[in-house]
Amino acid sequence: MQPTFFEHAKSIAGPALIGLGILVLHEKLDGAATHLNHLLGTIPGNAVGVLPTFILAASRVLRAHASDHQRFLRGFLQHVLVSSWPLLLVIIGTILSQDAIPDKAEALPKKDRGLVDPAAVRSTLD
């Protein structure tokens, strides 16, 4: 049976979305790793100044959470969803690719391997 235009488009769009999603996700993670490396790789004399900054930021986050739980959670979820949109591309591309690839496992004949006796002392090459 000949694939239709829609099936052909899905077989092309799936891997394209997966590739684009992985590329964008890689760039985002690379930027975050570079930023973290820069933060942790500070000169030991300046590292003392990083700790008060971290404590101040943590106290602001806790204060924001304590003052308005719903607003804090809404902002947190919005930040997480906006940051992880490349994963959505990968998921959609995977779904499109699954529909385009025929299931070959059903076409293969099943082999009768029999029971395996772990107590038997014989070579597995027999």
Phi, psi of 117 (to 5 degrees): -105, 105
Phi, psi of 32 (to 5 degrees): -65, -40
Q: What pLDDT, in 10s, does the model give residues 7-63? A: 788 888 888 999 999 999 888 888 888 877 776 665 555 556 667 777 888 888 888
Query: What integer pLDDT is reported at residue 23 of this predicted model?
Result: 92
What contacts 83, CB < 8 A, 6 or more positions away?
Answer: 28
* Burial tier of 28 (Cβ tally within 10 Å: 0-12, 13-18, 19+): middle
Comparing CA positions, the residue from 28, 12, 6 lying closest to residue 84 is 28
Query: What integer pLDDT is reported at residue 5 of this predicted model?
Result: 81
pTM here is 0.53
